[in-house]
Amino acid sequence: MINELVAACDRFNQARPWSHNNHYHRWILRQLPTSIDTALDVGCGTGDLARRLAHRATSVVAVDRDPTVIAHALTHAPTNVRFVQADVLDLPEDRYQAMTCVAALHHLPLAPALTRFRQWLAPGGTLVVIGLYVPATIVDHVWQAAAVPSNLLVSWAHGHDTPTVAMTAPVRQPTTTLAQLRTQVEPILPGAQIRRRLFWRYSLIWRA
């Protein structure tokens, strides 16, 4: 039932220029320092967040394993953004002051990915994840249901914005509940703040 509602919302959104992921970009930027040395965006899709990070960061690496989205991202690449087509887990060791990962963590093996993120985050650096989860509790279902009218309102309000192409990136259904996620994240990123969010998403913040 909820999947049908989400699909209906996606169709409504596609008729208007809006993405559940891009909705969180401004919030993500507020969690990051105003001036960043190097940033990494994991699963960057067509690069909307990387382009926003480029206004803050000296240099941005934006990685996605899908050649089609990277080809599209490269058509609008600021000089300080390096779009890389690769599996993020194959990237060479490096250090980043800010790392972001929007709607992509559930595409990755969770523990190896989080371990790699922790290794790559510079001391004092910030990791911000917006992810998808499987609803399991009554509270989850209430939030998921509340997202439907909110989606229609926000989508209607965004109706005259510039169209986004972010929704063309490959998608996958999540397989982890919030409780499972918390259990698996805590040993790797102790003290990470995980919060349920609107639009079928959660946020995770961890400061190294």
Ligand X SMILES: C[S@@+](CC[C@H](N)C(=O)[O-])C[C@H]1O[C@@H](n2cnc3c(N)ncnc32)[C@H](O)[C@@H]1O
The residue ranges that bind ligand X (CB under 6 A) are: 21, 43-45, 63-66, 69, 87-89, 102-104, 107-108, 166, 169-171
Shortest gap between Cβ of 144 and ligand X (angstroms)? 18
Which CB sits closer to ligand X, 137 or 172?
172
Shortest gap between Cβ of 52 and ligand X (angstroms)? 11
Which residues, 6+ apart, have CB-to-CB distance to 73 below 8 Å? Answer: 44, 45, 46, 47, 50, 62, 64, 83
CB neighbours of residue 147 within 10 Å: 21
Which CB sits closer to ligand X, 123 or 132?
132
Q: How far apart are CA 111 and CA 59, in angstroms?
A: 27
Shortest gap between Cβ of 43 and ligand X (angstroms)? 3
Q: How far apart are CA 121 and CA 153, in angstroms?
A: 37
Which CB sits closer to ligand X, 3 or 191?
3
Which CB sits closer to ligand X, 94 or 137?
94
Shortest gap between Cβ of 160 and ligand X (angstroms)? 21
Q: How far apart are CA 130 and CA 85, in angstroms?
A: 21
CA 158 to chain centre: 20
